[in-house]
Structure formats: C-alpha cells, structure tokens
Amino acid sequence: MKIATPSPKMPMLIERLVDKTNRGELNWEVTSQEDVFQVSFPEFSIRLFPIQRDETRIDYALAIFDQEQKLIDEVTDVVLAPLMGNAFEIMDSLYSAARRNALGVDLAIENVLKALGGEEPPATGEEPPTTSEDLPF
C-alpha cells in the first residue's frame, strides 16, 4: 500500500497509544508475524512493526485494520515526521512498550527476581525504594 499524507489525527492517536500502553491499560498481543504486535478494539485493530530500511536503520509502521482485516490506513515514522518532529523516538518507545506488554517481559523479570530471592522488586510501574545512597546529603 502506498502511504499517503497521514491524517492530522495520527499523532494524537499515537500519543494516546503510548500513554495507555505505559499505564498498562492496553493489552498488546503477539501475531503470527514475527516482531508484529497488535492491540484490538471493538471495530478495529492496530498493528505495530519495524521495517528494515537498510543494514543499520529501521523505521516503524503503524497499521489500522477493520474487522475483516482489511487495511484501512498505514503510517511510518518517516511519513509522520512533518507532523511529529520526534516521530521515530515516539514510535520506537511505543514499539518497545508494546513488545514488553505482549511478551510479558516485565512479569517475567519480576518472577525471575522473586525466584532468585533477596529484596522484593517494586511492582511494575512503582518507583524503587530510596536508599541512603540515593539521598542528596
């Protein structure tokens, strides 16, 4: 699909996805395609995936599908750059958070830390406890 000029609402959509993902309010899922993660809504789903630009650089794409899995819209960080100056960084952050969510990375780390024993790790989203070494005086 040739990517046209993105909707002016696309930056707002991406920012809300970042916010809701970081708050743990979205349930990203793995898909049958490697490195593609999806979040579903009642009538649409969104897939997020990397695109290998060349040997050293990647871009990120976000695609919206309807209930019949028909592609409705697709945008990359490169196309979004005129509307979102830091589009790559935002989509990279969203991709990382979606991946962690879909694969259960944070839960896996917490469980391994518990199995190893020692100090109880803070719950996901909580700040670690302050120690005397953290105090400025």
Q: Please give the residue range of the domain that contains residue 70.
A: 10-119
Which of the pair, 7 or 129, is modelled with greater confidence? 7
Encoded amino acid at 20, one letter: K
Is 135 part of a structural domain of the chain?
no
Confidence of residue 4 (pLDDT cuts 50, 70, 90): low
- HSE, CB side, 13 Å, CA atoms: give it for residue 80: 26
Is 134 part of a structural domain of the chain?
no
Is 136 part of a structural domain of the chain?
no
The domain total for the chain is 1
For the entire predicted model, the pTM comes to: 0.79
Which of 101-105, 113-117, 132-136 has the highest average model confidence (pLDDT)? 101-105
Is 56 part of a structural domain of the chain?
yes
Is 64 part of a structural domain of the chain?
yes
Separation of alpha carbons 86 and 95, rounded Å: 14
Is 48 part of a structural domain of the chain?
yes
Is 1 part of a structural domain of the chain?
no
Query: 38 Cβ partners below 8 Å, 6+ apart?
Result: 28, 29, 30, 31, 45, 46, 47, 48, 102
Is 130 part of a structural domain of the chain?
no
Query: 83 Cβ partners below 8 Å, 6+ apart?
Result: 6, 8, 10, 11
Confidence of residue 6 (pLDDT cuts 50, 70, 90): confident
